[in-house]
Each structure stands twice: as C-alpha cells, then as structure tokens.
C-alpha cells in the first residue's frame, strides 16, 4: 500500500501489456479520471496521467530525478547511470553542454538547405512511384540520410541503428519479456558505442566527436564517453521516424487538415506540434522521487518511482479543448511530446528541421494520402508503426 496523506487511487492495468500498448488511450482517460496521481499496482509506480502535474514534475527536477528512475526496471537504470539522460542537476547540465552546442538553432541553420534538398529528393522519388511504405521508404530513408552524418558516426553499423534504438526503448519498460528479449540488441549498441570511443572512428564535425574531444580534455572518462554516445544513438532516429509516420497516418485520416497545410505551408510547424500532441511518440518515462513530496494531497515517499505520462498529459481534457481532435490550427505550443524542463529533448531542433522539410516537400506534390493495412509496433515506450502502406495521390 501507499503511505499517502489522502488515499491514492489504485489501478490494476498493465500499461505494458500488448493490448494496452496498441490501445492506450482508454486506459489513459480512466487514469486521468481517477485523479492526479494513481498508483499502478502492477508496476509499483505512481502514475501522473494529467497535464498539470506531469508538467510540474518535469519542471521540478530537484525532486523528480532521472538517475536511477527513468526506466521501470533497476537493471536498465543501473546500465545507463552516467549518461546525460540518467543524470541530474549540475552533472546533467555539464554533460548536456558537451554536445549541446551542435544542436542549437544557430548550429543547425547551415544544415537547412541540405536537409530540405534531401527531403525533396526522397519525396519526389516516392510520389513518382505512387505507393510506398511511409515507415521504411519515407521516414526511415529520410532520417537515415540525415542523422548518422549529423552524429558523425562511421558507415559501418548504420544498418542496425533503428533496431538498436527500438530495443533500447523496450528496455526502458518494466523487465517484461519484451524488455528481456531486447537486452542482447541493447548490448550490441553498447558494444558499437564502445568501439566508437576505442577506435576514435567518429568524423570530425559531428556530435560524436564532441564526446571524443571531452574525453581528450579529461572532462569525461572512457565509460562516460560511451554513455554519452548511447545518449544520442538511442533517441535520434526512431523518435523522428515515429513522429513523421504518425503525421502521414493522421493526414491520411484527415484530408481536410492536409488541404489546410497545402493551402498554407506556414501551418507546418504548428501541425507537427499537433501530431506530437495527439500521437505522442514517447509515451512515458519514469522519475525517482528524491524527497517526500505532495501532489494533489497525496504524499509520494522519497525513493518511490513516478511515471511521467507525456502521451496521456497531451490528451488531458483539463488542459486541452477537444483533446481527441486533430486540428492543425490549434495552439499546441505547450505539448509535452518533446518532454519539458531540464531533460526536454536535446534534439528537437533537428527533429523539427527534418520533419518540417518532409512535410513541406509532400505539400508541394501530394493532394492526399491513402493508407491501407498499417501495422503497429509493440514497444514498451514508443507508439510507432512497423509499416504504413501509403498511396500518395499527386497534386494536379
Ligand atoms: C520527433 C522526434 C523526437 C521526439 C518525439 C523526442 C522526444 C523526447 C522526449 C519526450 C525526451 C524527454 C525525456 C524525459 O524528459 O524523460 C527526449 C529527450 C532527449 N532527446 Fe529527443 N525526441 C526526438 C528527437 C530527438 C533527436 C533527433 C535527438 C538527437 C539528435 C534527440 C535527443 C534527445 C536527448 C539526448 C534527450 C535527453 C535529454 C536530457 O536528458 O537532457 N531526440 N526526447
């Protein structure tokens, strides 16, 4: 039981069961209706399903700590200790600054032309082809053409990046069969990161080289350099692939919203925010409670774990008008699809650059999308598609 000053509602759901992964939104609604904090008995964590409390927890990173708490199992929490993602406070700020310079809007600006040209080439070929898989042929092709070069990693190993990333996201869940089955692939990515550091095979101008430079300056040790490599290998590809495919799926189901984009491409940045709000790729991560704290009159004891539910918060009826509706004109600046606060997504500028470029290239060429026979991925953290068979009807 909990040591709450007011009773904390308890829910029996396994949010990591296949059925809940495939159809999460009914569960999220029930949890939000139960209260601002709900104890998930199956996982031994306090869930924050509503917007206000999730955002507040993300802002209060003194109380809600990443080290030892982002994953729902101790095995993986221990493995990733020392990374940017699994560190806190000054140490987190120090680690984030090592690579941060490469990800600022100013640093990304010179890439814009190249990214737009890549998007244009990928989209032109697919529209000519007519039918394609929006996961493999569009989103992965685009992201793989941009991100590995941006990270500055060698060609060898790039073919595994997507599978490695998916495996690591699985490992962030509870230690269920899916997480256990993913541990070997997660180790393969760790071995690749170790080789990057050992062989110093990172290219001179990428994010990975910033890590080697920090190693040379003595700012990080060898093991921490490996962790910093993994910090970027895991979240930099599949997340963007997922956001982009979610966009195609939503525009196929809402042709009126696609018409608005085609008429006014200036809506694209807001439209992509709306995609991340409604079909949030990263469903949830954990936090460790550093000291006894109260949320909505419930006392969360020091040492307990909290689940920050980005995807549920983004559909909270208390925060959003018509939350289930896809509305590209909505003011969705406050969405939590990139997280929020100290650990808010470090790569969001790059993700926006890539996705906006693809949507703009599509808006110039495609009148509407038809999607048939899509298949969802079953992953502990990501809400993604395995395949999204798409027909692009060319603009007249
Ligand atoms: C649409 C694409 C993306 C989505 C939806 C996304 C989502 C997120 C979310 C929700 C978090 C915060 C996790 C938390 O607070 O617990 C996060 C953190 C992070 N993301 Fe992204 N991400 C995307 C793209 C990228 C890209 C392209 C990169 C790298 C180039 C990246 C690198 C990172 C890193 C390094 C962190 C950890 C930041 C920290 O702990 O300080 N992400 N991302």
User: Residue 54: CB within 6 Å of ligand 1?
Assistant: no
Which residues have C-beta within 8 Å of that of residue 327, sequence separation ≥ 6?
257, 274
228: in domain:
yes
> How many Å apart are CA 82 and CA 350, to the nearest integer?
24
5: in domain:
no
Least confident of 2-6, 7-11, 29-33, 349-353: 2-6
4: in domain:
no
- Looking at the structure of the chain, the number of domains it has is 1
pLDDT at 223 over 80: yes
304: in domain:
yes
**First CA to last CA distance, the chain:** 63
Q: Percentage of residues in the chain with pLDDT exceeding 70?
A: 99
**φ, ψ for residue 374 (rounded to 5)?**
-70, 155
Structure tokens given for 89: 């406070």
How far are the Cα atoms of 101, 150, 194, 346 from residue 108, in angstroms, in the given order? 10, 10, 27, 12
Burial 68-95 (b: 16+ CB within 10 A, else e): bbbbbbeebbebbebbbbbbbeeebeeb
pLDDT at 221 over 50: yes
Top mutation candidate among 210, 347, 353 for ligand 1, by most atoms within 8 Å of CB: 347
2: in domain:
no
1: in domain:
no
> How many Å apart are CA 77 and CA 86, to the nearest integer?
8
> How many Å apart are CA 93 and CA 103, to the nearest integer?
14
Range of the domain at 177: 10-394
In tens, the pLDDT along 46-104 reads 999 999 999 999 999 999 999 999 999 999 999 999 999 999 999 999 999 999 999 99
- Which residue(s) pair with 393 in the sheet? 368
pLDDT at 13 over 80: yes
pLDDT at 294 over 70: yes
User: Residue 169: CB within 6 Å of ligand 1?
Assistant: no
pLDDT at 150 over 70: yes
**CATH code (residue 130):** 1.10.630.10
390: in domain:
yes
Structure tokens given for 166: 């998916």
pLDDT at 215 over 60: yes
Span from the CA of 95 to the centroid of ligand 1 (angstroms): 15
In tens, the pLDDT along 95-145 reads 999 999 999 999 999 999 999 999 999 999 999 999 999 999 999 999 999
57: in domain:
yes
**Coil vs helix vs strand at 295:** strand
User: Residue 148: CB within 6 Å of ligand 1?
Assistant: no
The protein residue with its alpha carbon nearest to ligand 1, atom 42, reads 347
Note if the pTM is more than 0.85.
yes
């Amino acid at each position: 039981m909990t040591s709450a000053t007011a009773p904390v509602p308890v829910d029996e759901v396994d949010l990591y069961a296949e059925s809940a992964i495939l159809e999460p939104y009914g569960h999220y609604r029930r949890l939000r209706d139960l209260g601002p904090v709900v104890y998930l008995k199956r996982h031994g964590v306090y869930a924050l399903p509503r917007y206000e409390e999730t955002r507040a927890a993300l802002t209060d990173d003194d109380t809600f700590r990443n080290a030892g708490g982002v994953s729902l199992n101790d095995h993986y929490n221990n493995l990733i200790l020392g990374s940017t993602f699994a560190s806190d406070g000054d140490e987190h700020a120090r680690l984030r600054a090592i690579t941060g310079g490469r990800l600022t809007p100013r640093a990304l600006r010179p890439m814009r032309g190249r990214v737009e040209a890549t998007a244009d080439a990928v989209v032109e070929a697919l529209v000519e082809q007519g039918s394609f898989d929006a996961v493999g042929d569009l989103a992965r092709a685009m992201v793989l053409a941009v991100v590995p070069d941006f990270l500055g990693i060698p060609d060898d190993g790039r073919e595994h990046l997507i599978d490695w990333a998916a495996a690591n996201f699985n490992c962030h869940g509870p230690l269920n069969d899916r997480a256990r089955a993913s541990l070997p692939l997660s180790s393969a990515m760790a071995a690749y990161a170790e080789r990057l550091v050992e062989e110093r095979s990172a290219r001179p101008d990428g994010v990975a080289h910033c890590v080697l430079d920090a190693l040379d300056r003595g700012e990080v040790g060898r093991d921490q350099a490996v962790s910093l490599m993994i910090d970027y290998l895991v979240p930099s590809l599949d997340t963007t692939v997922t956001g982009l495919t979610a966009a195609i799926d939503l525009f196929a189901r809402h042709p009126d919203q696609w018409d608005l984009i085609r008429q006014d491409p200036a809506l694209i940045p807001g439209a992509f925010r709306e995609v991340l709000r409604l079909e949030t790729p990263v469903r949830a991560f954990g936090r460790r409670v550093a000291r006894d704290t109260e949320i909505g009159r419930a006392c969360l004891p020091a040492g307990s774990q909290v689940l920050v539910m980005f995807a549920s918060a983004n559909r909270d009826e208390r925060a959003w008008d018509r939350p289930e509706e896809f509305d590209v004109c909505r003011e969705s600046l406050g969405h939590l699809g990139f997280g929020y606060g100290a650990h808010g997504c470090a790569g969001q500028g790059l993700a926006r650059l890539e996705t906006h470029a693809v949507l703009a290239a599509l808006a110039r060429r495609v009148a509407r999308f038809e999607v048939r026979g899509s298949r969802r991925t079953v992953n502990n953290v990501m809400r993604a598609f395995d395949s999204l068979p798409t027909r692009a009807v060319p603009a007249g």
